Amino acid sequence: MRAKRTLCAVLAAALIISLVGCGGSTQDPSASQSAMGGNSGPVVKAEPATLDELQLRDKKLLYENLDPTEVVTMYLTVSTGNAAENTDHTWEEINSYSVYDYDAMGVDRYQVAGLLQVGDENGPLPGELGFGQSAPNCTVQIRGQTSSKLPQKNYKISVKDNKGEWRGQTTIALNKHQSDGLRFRNKMAYDLMAGIDEMMSLRTTFVHLYVKDTTAGGSGQFVDYGLYTQVEQLNKTALKTHGLDKNGHLYKINLFEFYRYEDVIRMADDPLYDLDAFEELLEIKGDDDHSKLIQMLEAVNDYGRPAEDVLEEYFDIENMAYWMAFHLLVGNRDTQSRNVYIYSPLNSNKWYFYSWDNDGMLKRTEYALADRSDGQGWEDGVSNYWGNVLFQRALKTETFRTALDNAVEDLRAYLSPQRIDDMTETYSAVVKPYLYQMPDIQYAPLTQTQYDEVATALNGEIETNYRSYKESYKKPMPFYIGVPRKEEEQMVYQWDAAYSFSGEALTYTFELASDYTFADPIIRQEDLLLPEYKGDLLPEGQYFMRVTAANAGGYEQYAFDYYVIETGKVYGVKCFYVDQDGVITEDVYVEN
C-alpha cells in the first residue's frame, strides 16, 4: 500500500498524535546532521496538518500477535434474572424469537443473565474472564437482523461494569454465519483489511461455545453449540482501542441511502424526534448530537453544490475509494445502503467508512451451486452503488472515479490468488472439523465435496469481480420504474432516465407480461427514446413490467426493481395488480 499521512488518534482537546513510523520523520536531513554535530542551522519542522487533512490509519500492532487458527473456548451459563434488566426470561425464549417477532410484539429483545467463562476444552482457565465465579457477569440476547430468523442464533454478550473484560472488550459478538457455507468469510475479510493501510479493520477469532441452561426447562449441563466467529464490536471502546476518537460520531447504517429524510433525521431535542424511527435508518453508536450529520446530508443532497466540493469538505476520498474498491473486488454486494458504519472525529468535518458484516463476499460459486441469481444484474460492478445518492454523486466525478480505479488496481494486486488460497486453506482446516459434526452439521448448506469445490474457486472470484467492475462503466446505470397509472383511458408506464458514463444516447425496451418469465409478452416495444410508454387499459389481474436500457455500444442494463422468487431475484421487473375497479397496486417486497 502507498504510504500516506496518518491519523492515529484524536483526543478530546483536538491533540493530534502520529504513530512513530507511520508518517515518517518531521525533521529534514539538515536537522538530523545538526543533532549529530554536523552542519549547523535551524531545525526545519513540517507544517502541522489540520485534522481534516489527515487520513485514518489502524493500529497494526493490534493484529501482529493474532493467530488465525486460534479457537477460543467459551463457557456460558444462562439463568433467569430480573424484570428491571429485562433478563426475566428463559433460554428457550431467547432462541425462539427473531427481531421481527420483537418488532411485532412492540418489546425490546429479551435477555437472560449469564456467566461467561473463557478457557480451553478442559474448562475455564485461571486468569481468564469469569474464572472461579458463580454469579452472573453478563447479559445475553440475540443479535443480527435477517439472521435472527435462522435456527442457529447469533448472540450479543454484554459483560457488566466492573465484572471484567476479555481482550479489552466487554461486548462479545458471536456470529454463526449460518448463510455462509464456508463459515469463515467474515473473518477472512477482516484479516485481509488488517493488511491494507488505507482500511480500518476489527479483531476476530474463532470461538467454540458451550452453553449451560439453568432457566426453566434447561438441562443444567453444558451443551456443545459449535463454532462461532467473534468480531470486535465497533463502539466507543473499539474506537479508543484503534486509536480513534471515542467521543466522535459513529452510526451503523441500516437501509440508508444518504437521502436527507427530514421527517426522521432530526436533532435529539426536536419535539418530533423519534429515536426508533431514526435508528431504523442509522443506529447511534457515538455522540448523539446529530447537527454534523444533518449538515453533511444537506450538502450531499444539495445539487446546487458541485459534488467535488462536497466530497472534499465532508469525506476522505481515499477512505471511500478503498472501502468501495475492496467490496467491489470481493463481491460483497450488500453494502449499498447497509452493513457499514460511518465515523467522524469530534472536531472534524470528515466522515469515514468502516466495514461491517462481510459474510456475503466471494459467493459466486456458492450461489451458482444453489442456482441463485444474486449478483447477475445491476448488483455487479459500480451500478451496485448507483441507488445511493452519495455514491452516485461521487461516481459522476472524475476525481472519485480516478481514486476508485487506483484503489481497485492496488487491491487487485494485494488480493492475489496465492494469498486467497493460503488463507482459505488455513481457515478450512479450522472450520471443517467443527462444521461437519454435531451440532453444526445439521445446518451446513454444503456437502463436504461442495465445500471443497467452493473453497477452491475463491481465488478466481477476485479476477471475475475485477472484470465486472471494468465492464460496468460501459453499461448504462440502473434506474427505477414508476407505478403504472391510468390517464385519459390509457395506461401510462414511466421510468427514470438511465445514465451513461460515455454520454451515449440511450434507448429503452418496454415489456409487459402476465408472468415474470416474459415468455409470452402482452406488449414488447423496442427502441423507445423517452422513458415512457402508453397503452390500452388492462383487465383485472397480476402483471409484470420490465424495462431495459441500452446504449449505442450494445451494452444493456436492467432497472433497479426486481421480483423475488425462491432462487433469488428477477432483475429489472416490477410486479403490480389491477383490481376489478381498475385500481392499480404495486407489489412490494418486504425483507424478513
Supply 95's cell numbers: 432462541
Could you give the CA distance from residue 533 to residue 545 in angstroms, rounded to a whole number? 11
Q: Which of 214, 237, 260 is the last residue of a domain?
A: 237
- Residues 347, 447: one domain? yes
Give me the helices (H) in 207-316, please: 236-241, 275-281, 291-300, 307-314
Q: What is the mean pLDDT of residues 238-259?
A: 96
The predicted structure's pLDDT at residue 5: 34
Pair (231, 248) in one structural domain:
no
State how far the Cα of 68 lies from the Cα of 90, in Å rounded to an integer. Answer: 35
335 and 379 in contact (C-beta within 8 Å)? Answer: no
- Helix (H) or strand (E) run with residue 463 in it: helix 448-472
Quote the CA–CA distance of 452 and 182 in Å, as a whole number.
9
The confidence score (pLDDT) of residue 373 equals 75
> Which among 260, 324, 263 is positioned nearest to 472, based on CA atoms?
324
pLDDT digits (tens, 9 = 90+) for 84-126: 999 999 999 999 999 999 999 999 999 999 999 999 999 999 9
Question: Among the three residues 469, 499, 529, which one is the final residue of a domain in this structure?
Answer: 469
Q: Which residues pair with 103 in a beta bridge?
A: none
| Span 185-191, average pLDDT | 98
Write the pLDDT tens digit of every residue in 309-336.
999 999 999 999 999 999 999 999 999 9
Q: What is the pLDDT of residues 482-524, one digit of tens each?
A: 999 999 899 999 999 999 999 999 999 999 999 999 999 999 9
pLDDT band at 16 (very low <50, low <70, confident <90, very high): very low
Going from the C-alpha of 177 to that of each of 139, 359, 567, the distances in angstroms are 21, 7, 20
Are 423 and 299 part of one and the same domain?
yes
Same structural domain, 377 and 493: no
Could you report the per-residue pLDDT of 436-493, keeping only the tens digit for each?
999 999 999 999 999 999 999 999 999 999 999 999 999 999 999 999 999 989 999 9
Q: Is residue 55 domain-resident?
A: no
Q: What pLDDT does residue 25 have?
A: 32
Assess whether 353 and 383 both reside in one domain. Answer: yes
279 and 414 belong to one structural domain: yes
Sign of CA pseudo-dihedral 200, 267, 282, 377: negative
Whether residues 457 and 365 fall in one domain: yes
Report which DSSP code applies to 178. T
Under a CB-based contact definition with an 8 Å cutoff, are residues 259 and 301 in contact? yes
Asked if residue 158 lies in contact with residue 138, where contact means CB atoms within 8 angstroms, the answer is: yes
Contact of 128 with 116, CB cutoff 8 Å = no
Task: Please indicate, yes or no, if residue 406 is contained in any of the structural domains.
Answer: yes
Q: Which residue reads 429515536 in cell numbers? A: 275
Same-domain pairing of 457 and 553: no
Structural domain includes residue 515: yes
Q: How many CA atoms lie within 13 Å of 470's alpha carbon, on the beta-carbon side?
A: 9
pTM comes to 0.89
User: CA-based angle 22:27:33, to the nearest 5?
Assistant: 130
b/e for 235-245, b at 16 or more Cβ within 10 A? bbbbbebbbbb
Residue where a domain stops, chosen among 416, 442, 469: 469
Does residue 389 lie within any of the structural domains? yes
The answer to whether 525 and 491 are in contact (CB under 8 A) is no
pLDDT at 12 > cutoff 70? no
What residue type is 495 in one-letter code? W
The pLDDT of residue 592 is above 70: no
Any domain includes 428: yes
Q: Side chain identity at 437, as an amino acid letter?
A: Q
Nearest one of 95, 97, 112 to 153, comparing CA atoms: 95
In this structure, the answer to whether residues 427 and 547 fall within a common structural domain is no
Cell digits for 526?
423496442
Residues forming a β-bridge with 507: 550
In a domain, 14, yes or no: no
Q: What is the CB neighbour count within 10 angstroms for residue 589?
A: 11
Domain that holds residue 122: 66-175+201-237
**Residue 520 falls inside a structural domain:** yes
Q: Is residue 514 part of a domain?
A: yes
Q: Is the peptide bond before 439 cis (omega within 30 degrees of 0)?
A: yes
Domain count, the chain: 3
What's the pLDDT score for residue 281?
97
Distance CA 252, CA 338 (A): 8
| Same structural domain, 454 and 351 | yes
Find, among 64, 343, 92, the residue nearest to 211 by Cα: 92
What does the chain come to in residues? 592
What mean pLDDT do residues 252-269 have? 97
Question: Could you tell me if 422 and 451 lie in one domain?
Answer: yes
| Same domain, yes or no: 90 and 222 | yes
Residue 385 grid coordinates: 452503488
